């Protein structure tokens, strides 16, 4: 088997939502990761970010010698993709396209399409209608993203966070219904531990569609502090030839610097 080309990234928005991008980048860089994942709604919100903000993000990346693995936490809490109000759906599309622009400007190639509150289908909207609106949004946004070399990775979220695309199979089906090369899927070990009968089988099922990976243990801590079998996870990723980023997405409440180093050390042994 050829050596793995996977690279390690990290995002810290679950640790402290008030942590500045500069401080996050310093912590991630000092721990030895190759890249950082930026929480869009917090640090690259298209409705708030300025050209100077974008320049500052690029400057911080240069100073910390980090690439950008992608944007996560894309949408603010009040965004609704399937709203019955047309103007609110239009806002969602404008926001999504502008996210693509910002991602392209800072060198991010992946937009993690999670944000369960934004994509959830309210009880008053028929599911068929809700899914049609989601596909419509992703089709138009995907066409826009493809022209800018940016990819949406649909993140399966567990049933307690979303009523759309809970499993890798459902996310894959959704991506295929969009039928855009810029709309693919993501595997997240935390959510998969809740929803999948077999994490390995789910990863293998995503072969050819997998664009991004998030890792944390079943308790949202760094891998190795819970019961997920990460040897199985990485064996499956290697089996399908995955060569993208693996982003650590933990909740850390203790010494962030120490835990990031420990997390990298644990994950690194699976990449050889």
Backbone angles phi, psi at 246, to 5 degrees: -115, 115
Tokens of 150: 């940016």
Catalytic residue among 37, 155, 195, 196: 155
CA separation, residue 268 to residues 8, 70, 111, 135, 196 (Å): 8, 20, 24, 37, 25
Catalytic residue among 62, 195, 249, 262: 249
Radius of gyration of the chain (CA): 18
155 in catalytic set:
yes
105 in catalytic set:
no
Tokens of 26: 């310093």
CB 188 within 8 A of CB 154: no
Nearest to 168 by CA among 197, 145, 146: 197
Residues with a known catalytic role: 155, 249
């Amino acid at each position: 088997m050829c050596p793995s080309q996977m690279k390690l990234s990290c995002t810290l928005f679950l640790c402290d939502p008030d942590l500045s991008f500069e401080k996050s980048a310093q912590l991630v860089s000092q721990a030895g990761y190759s890249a950082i994942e930026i929480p869009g709604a917090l640090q690259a919100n298209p409705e708030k970010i300025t050209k100077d903000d974008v320049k500052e993000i690029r400057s911080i990346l240069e100073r910390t010698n980090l690439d950008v693995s992608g944007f996560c936490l894309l949408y603010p809490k009040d965004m609704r993709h399937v709203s019955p109000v047309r103007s609110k759906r239009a806002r969602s599309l404008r926001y999504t396209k502008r996210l693509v622009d910002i991602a392209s400007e800072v060198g991010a190639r992946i937009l993690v399409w999670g944000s369960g509150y934004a994509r959830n289908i309210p009880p008053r909207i028929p599911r068929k209608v809700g899914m049609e609106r989601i596909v419509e949004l992703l089709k138009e946004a995907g066409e826009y993203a493809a022209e800018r070399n940016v990819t949406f990775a649909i993140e399966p979220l567990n049933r307690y966070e979303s009523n759309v695309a809970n499993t890798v199979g459902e996310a894959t089906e959704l991506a295929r219904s969009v039928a855009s090369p810029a709309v693919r899927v993501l595997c997240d070990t935390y959510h998969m531990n809740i929803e999948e009968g077999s994490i390995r089988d789910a990863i293998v099922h995503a072969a050819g569609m997998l664009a991004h990976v998030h890792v944390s243990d079943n308790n949202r801590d760094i891998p190795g502090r819970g019961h997920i079998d990460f040897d199985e996870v990485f064996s499956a990723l290697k089996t399908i030839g995955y060569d993208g980023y693996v982003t650590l997405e933990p909740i850390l409440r203790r010494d962030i610097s120490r835990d990031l180093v420990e997390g990298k050390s644990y994950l690194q042994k699976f990449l050889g």
